[in-house]
Structure 1
């Protein structure tokens, strides 16, 4: 019983400290339209766009990139060159240093949650590497049945007989896009796909050529 009480008390203390650290995020404002990405670099996938004048909480910075917490839209990393202190938030203080000198983490195991935290300028753990840019084609709806995948930069002006007019769903990852056409050599009607498509509508079983990029 004593051990349980200590563990519970430690957990509450850690949560309280994490809440305090999170509250120390610096308010910032976007000085222009800028992409929001899954990691600190242009090689990471785009997950949204900050509009000029959008106010965010800057959680931490790594090099020339900062992780921003948005009131609306997906959180992620944005170029520090497009961020400035938000004077209206009362926390900018005229300084252009938006880095947060706190770092913390949490993991959950069989024994319950555990916390780690520190104070200093150590950078946060690096995010996972970006997913490779590729496109996958499926013969069935909802990404089912036979499939083949290609890297960005691949094209085929004339799909082989086993795949010509036989594609029913498409997955994209790593920021890849693909233009699919109903005729060979990119003829007929074409459309560009940048998000997963579990069903292709009028392009179902009607694709004869593609260009992935």
Structure 2
């Protein structure tokens, strides 16, 4: 039975490898300044920023985001709209030959049957999901005193020194928040699904909120 499982696992692995589009590192250059994030989306934490003209190794891409390996600064995900292939000056070209692609193959047999793992190239593991939450800060750019809430938290009357004292809001993991300038969700209100380092007309003017 174990031998049959081994053959089955090997066959599945071979089929998977043959049908998977292989990603490999290739040099890229930032066309403009762009944020580096911990995952493929604006809801993930900011780790730093690429400067215009910075050269990186593009490890893999998911949709409109690519994971880059930097020679200086933290590695992470950036929007591929700000990347383009890098061609060093004096490059004589070499046809369409692709570099060798390192890969690893692992298989274990457990109570639930074969467990197969295939690693291709130098791509990092998928980022851990970010817990949905909304954080409020007394300073701009997510600085100063803060408190965080989970989706489903509502506060019709901000107290404890927070009424008319919020200057930036960080939104993570797909959460959203509606903020209002008066108690009980009255006055002027606005809803955001992305982090706001400054609040404009709502700066130091929020008196109630609903997170969802």
Instruction: Please state which band the TM-score falls in when normalised by the shorter chain.
Output: 0.3 to 0.5
Higher helix proportion, which one?
Answer: 1
TM-score normalised over the length of structure 1: 0.47
